[in-house]
Amino acid sequence: MDEALGRARRGALILGSVVVFSILSYHLLFKKPLLESMYWTVITITGVGYSQTLGQEVSDDRQFLTIVVIIFGMMAMAYTVGMLIQAIVEGQLDKVMGGKRMKKEIDKLRGHTVICGFGRIGQNLGHRLARHDMPFVVIDPSAEALAEAKSLKYLHLEGDATDEDMLKAAGIEYAETLVVSPQNDSDNVFLTLTARNMSPNIRIIARGEHPRTEKKLLQAGATEVVMPAVIGAERMADMILRPEASDLLRCVGHESGLNAELEEFEFTSESAYLGRTIREAEEGLQVMVIAVRRPNVETIFNPRDDEVLLKGDILILMGPEADIQDFYTKCVAPGAKAVLV
């Protein structure tokens, strides 16, 4: 808890102690009813006072006790109220309550993605996942890096992702994917090893800056390694050596002017077109199945039209978004709507 809130809590404890002491003293020492003792304590501490006049009814002991309660009670109350006002002004109460709400939302997540590091790569990844309503949690030690995540209302945690408690707070045991995206390779290796030990079945996509780090990341438990520098260099080389093909691949996506998407779907036991051919599946739609990936079998690129679709097949296809949606509804999951990435 923040410092001002901590001081306010201590002040409230002191104030509560003064109230209890006053009530018990008035009740036990002066043999007054408990309700009257509470009433006397409240009007004394709040400065309201009471209408009784000094006389034989108000002994010296009671007067002394009243003075003590007023002094300590008013001091404790002023201190507590002052700290609460400071906390409110600094936005600390909002931060604490917001953190509790965020924790509840994170605890509800299942099958989500944990993004460790919210730099340029983490931010672009977060924007893409948010656009497609994919649940994710961001972890970053920098308050400045998380400013955008907060403004976009992303679920986020401020802290070191290599800390096991931080990964637990992000729900790593229920997450489907963990993305390791800091720029420091040594931290990435350690984070990958930590996450793999905590969640043996989680998919870990790790970032590597140097080619020699790829092997270490895989040994640490990374499922896949992405090297931005290598990908960038390959992209530039393609633009030089194969400019037209490179431009076509760049145009396939949501931000392009070309009406084409790349998508993949898995055929399950409920898929309508099990046992039927690719030709039948493509019929009437402007989609093209460019590859079929089968369990324990190499990926079949440019499959034949008479290739039979089997349970467990993962089809990679390209075409307009509307036709891909129709393909999913007709062939993969009748009546359902695809979530395109």
The domains located in the chain, with CATH, are 3-89 (1.10.287.70), 109-231 (3.40.50.720), 259-332 (3.30.70.1450)
Tokens found for residue 240 = 């030089």
Q: What DSSP designation does 309 have?
A: P
Residue 95 has pLDDT above 70, yes or no: no
The Cα–Cα gap between 40 and 65 comes to 11
More confident residue, 245 or 144: 144
Which of 147-156, 167-176, 331-340 comes out lowest in average pLDDT? 331-340
Beta-strand pair 288-293/300-301: antiparallel
Tell me the per-residue pLDDT of 237-267, one tens digit each, with 9 for 90 and over. 878 887 876 676 666 554 444 556 778 889 9
Alpha-helical segments (H) within the chain: 3-29, 34-45, 60-89, 92-108, 120-131, 145-151, 164-169, 185-198, 213-220, 228-241, 243-251, 278-282, 321-327
Residue 339 has pLDDT above 80, yes or no: no
More confident residue, 246 or 91: 246
The Cα–Cα gap between 310 and 76 comes to 75
Query: How many helical (H) and strand (E) elements, i.e. helices and strands, does the chain have?
Result: 13, 10
Give the percent of the chain with pLDDT over 70. 84
CB 226 within 8 A of CB 209: no
Residue 209 has pLDDT above 50, yes or no: yes
Mean pLDDT of the chain: 83
Residue 47 has pLDDT above 60, yes or no: yes
Residue 54 has pLDDT above 80, yes or no: no
Q: Which pTM was predicted?
A: 0.59
Long-range contacts of 292-300 (CB under 8 A, 24+ apart): 292/316
Residue 236 has pLDDT above 90, yes or no: no
